[in-house]
Structure 1
Amino acid sequence: MSTAIAVVLLLAVATYAIFGGADFGAGFWDLTAGGPERGEGPRGLIERSIGPVWEANHVWLIFIFVVTWSAFPSAFASITLTMFIPLTIAALGIVLRGASFAFRKTVVTVRFRRIFGGAFALSSLLVPFCFGAIAGGIASGQVPAGGKAGDPVDSWLNPTSLATGVLAIVLAAYLAAVFLVRNARQVGEPGMAAYFRRRAVVTGVVAAAVALIDFVVLSFGAPHVFDGLTSRALPLVIVSVASGVGTLVLLVRGASHGARALAVVAVACGIGCWGVAQWPYILPESLTFSAAAAPSGTLTALLVAVGLALLIVVPGFVLLYVLDQRQLLPEESVEDVGDRAVESGTG
């Protein structure tokens, strides 16, 4: 039963990495879009693309936390006690990002729009880095078992964590660029489609290079995970690499729809690689999933709750994403008075 919960947890992490990652990656492109005039087109497309769904993506993060503390309480205690600094930074970053995204649309001066825009973009980099650093710290054995706290600094500021954190930022930017290519074509903006296609190709190449560096770092920083990647998780590694290469080929050829699907497969298999390589440990190499599991009654109740969530919540998400992709959702209810004020010369 603990294995079934672990699989559910891994699927939830992959889902958040894909949808939440693309959401955070959009902030990277917002940050690098340039000044107000040069960046108007990219930022406008980004706001229209993530506006209807950006809040919904964090439901997956809440689901991950609830499942982890319910099914594997001792591991959850060790992780939160050890990683409380990056977890706190990530939580504050999510709040700051959401507030800045909303306030940027309502302030009337260029100065404050830049401040809120900068906060939105910078927090979009900070959050995925923290989550990647946490994953790297867990993989490298920085979190002790038994509900104990490890080193609050070295646990997430070590070579494995830093490399994984940077990889998380790059993968988020890569996913966002691929998604935005498709979104630009859907709204009839071929110029923006070409803009983000070039960035998707470049970011894909950078992601491959960073992933290779992370792979080398794992060989001495997280030997158990490295051994798993080169053995039992190798098929998923091959699928991830092949999908990434296929994405680049399709992007160069202009097939944005197929490129988006392959990019999702590449990232999902990348998350799957990590889970399979780390198995059977939730905290390598000190605590297995089975040893950390809650009593069977708790696991049974949790599986029932997950089944109900699949029946009740997932269809709503599917409907939301389908309506969003078909451009059938209205703009956010808050009027963008900032744009109106800027156009009239205020600020």
Structure 2
Amino acid sequence: MIFSYIGIIVLWLFLFCYIIIASIDFGAGFFALHAKITNQDKKLNHLISRYLNPVWEVTNVFFVFFFVGMVGFFPESALYFGTVLLVPASIALVLLSIRGAFYAFENYGQDSKLPWLVLYGLTGLFIPASLATAMTISEGGYITKHGSSFDLNWTELLLSPFSWSVVFLAIITVLYISSGFLTFYADRAKDTRAYKLLRYWFLFWGPPMIAISLFVFLSLRVQNETHFLSAVLNYWWLFLLSLICFIVAMLLTLLKKAHGWAFIMVIFQMGFAFFGYGASKLPYILYPQVQFEHAVVNDSMAMALTIAFICGLLLLIPSLILLLKLFVFDKEYVEGKKSQY
């Protein structure tokens, strides 16, 4: 039993790391496209390129670990999610392939063609929207069972206010996290033109993100009252801490001070909300069909997976920190005085 708890915590950490890193990447694509269309690309795109060049190869590693770990620890969840998420997951895979193709052309081509940049920018919004479908479905009410087979009720899903609110929350959160990091990055690079634009985007997307988060929370009461009551009664303090971190991040940015700490507050904000959501959802992985305590593999396999994934986490986190230190936050590299190669 203990391994099921350790396993779900480690997997949640992998998913959280992916959300933060991928959000910066996804949002950067949209900002690059917007800057190109509005003829502001000279202000912004060089800064985005300096961040993405050394980092884009490792972005999806955390998601791969989470996906493999989910199937390994909780094989019963694969039976449900593997069936009902076939279409959304396939769409996300195609979009990720398009982004990979863009990175190849960006790094080895002469320049960024507008059609590729459009695909790159739009996929940064569509991928989180498609992946957010898993969160929506996991709250229950969208899966119908016919004997030993499962079907996704697309009509119910597409007409659900909760479903669309989660999609919009995923998109806005991506833009919020990305603009928060890039504001800090522009300030560190002493790039005044990019800093002004990105600071505006960060302040712009903050309030809508809180508003849509509140709507998601309220609509959850209709979709899954059990989860809603657990969040309100048992884990309200995590969501309160998340709101406090949001206020601190906004104030620091408004005052144009300590942008590094402002982004750390963004990470804590997302962390408190993310783990509050996950903890209040337990013991269900998929409501009401799959409970993690019952769906976990046998103890010996769970122990082996736990050790392997903890080792993977201990390897990936220092590696990412080293990558950021050597390239992304190197003083000469961030100011454009040194090439990655």
Give yes or no for TM over 0.5: yes
In structure 2, the partner of 1:233 is 235
1:200 corresponds to 2:202: yes
In structure 1, the partner of 2:58 is 56
Q: CA deviation at 1:172?
A: 0.8
> How many aligned residue pairs are there?
331
Q: Which of 164, 181, 188 is equivalent to 1:162?
A: 164
Distance 2:84 2:205 in 1: 32
Partner of 2:152, secondary structure, is coil
In structure 2, the partner of 1:151 is 152
In structure 1, the partner of 2:134 is 134
Partner amino acid, structure 1, of 2:118: G
User: Is the contact made by 1:78 and 1:147 (CA closer than 8 Å) also made in structure 2?
Assistant: no
The 5 Å alignment of 1:56-135 reads 56-104=58-106, 107=109, 113-135=113-135
Distance 1:147 1:171 in 2: 37
Distance 2:218 2:52 in 1: 34
User: Is the contact made by 2:20 and 2:267 (CA closer than 8 Å) also made in structure 1?
Assistant: yes
For structure 1, the residue ranges without an aligned partner over 5 or more in a row are 334-347
Q: Which of 316, 334, 342 is equivalent to 2:319?
A: 316
Partner amino acid, structure 2, of 1:196: L
User: Is the contact made by 1:90 and 1:130 (CA closer than 8 Å) also made in structure 2?
Assistant: yes
Distance 1:69 1:144, change over 3 A: farther
Distance 2:312 2:332 in 1: 25
Instruction: Tell me how large the CA RMSD over aligned residues is.
Output: 2.2
Distance 1:46 1:102, change over 3 A: same
Distance 1:50 1:59 in 2: 15
Residues 50-109 of structure 1, C-alpha deviation per residue, up to 9 Å, x if partnerless? Answer: 221122111010011111000000112211210111111111111101212332455558
Distance 1:147 1:212, change over 3 A: farther
Q: Percent identity?
A: 23
Partner amino acid, structure 1, of 2:173: L
Distance 1:107 1:32 in 2: 21
Identify the range of structure 1 (257-266 vs 141-150) with the bigger mean alpha-carbon deviation. 141-150
Residues 283-341 of structure 1, C-alpha deviation per residue, up to 9 Å, x if partnerless? Answer: 122321111111111101101102322343332122112222225766466xxxxxxxx
The 5 Å alignment of 1:200-219 reads 200-219=202-221
User: Is the contact made by 2:14 and 2:313 (CA closer than 8 Å) also made in structure 1?
Assistant: no
Distance 1:155 1:80 in 2: 19
Quick check: which one's helix share is greater?
2
Distance 1:251 1:222 in 2: 36
User: Is the contact made by 1:243 and 1:266 (CA closer than 8 Å) also made in structure 2?
Assistant: yes
Distance 1:101 1:147 in 2: 42
Partner of 1:7, secondary structure, is helix
User: Is the contact made by 2:142 and 2:153 (CA closer than 8 Å) also made in structure 1?
Assistant: no
User: Is the contact made by 1:51 and 1:331 (CA closer than 8 Å) also made in structure 2?
Assistant: no
Residues 85-143 of structure 1, C-alpha deviation per residue, up to 9 Å, x if partnerless? Answer: 1111111111101212332455558xx71000001001111101111122112124435
In structure 2, the partner of 1:294 is 297
Distance 2:22 2:157 in 1: 21
User: Is the contact made by 2:199 and 2:253 (CA closer than 8 Å) also made in structure 1?
Assistant: yes
Partner of 1:254, secondary structure, is coil
Q: CA deviation at 1:154?
A: 4.4
Q: CA deviation at 1:165?
A: 1.5
Partner amino acid, structure 1, of 2:183: V
Distance 1:170 1:312 in 2: 31
Distance 1:156 1:27 in 2: 28
User: Is the contact made by 1:85 and 1:152 (CA closer than 8 Å) also made in structure 2?
Assistant: no
Normalising to structure 1: TM-score of the pair? Answer: 0.89
Distance 1:331 1:306 in 2: 34
Partner of 2:297, secondary structure, is coil
Distance 1:148 1:161, change over 3 A: farther
Distance 1:326 1:147 in 2: 56
1:258 corresponds to 2:282: no
Distance 1:15 1:107 in 2: 30
Distance 1:328 1:305, change over 3 A: farther
Partner amino acid, structure 2, of 1:125: L
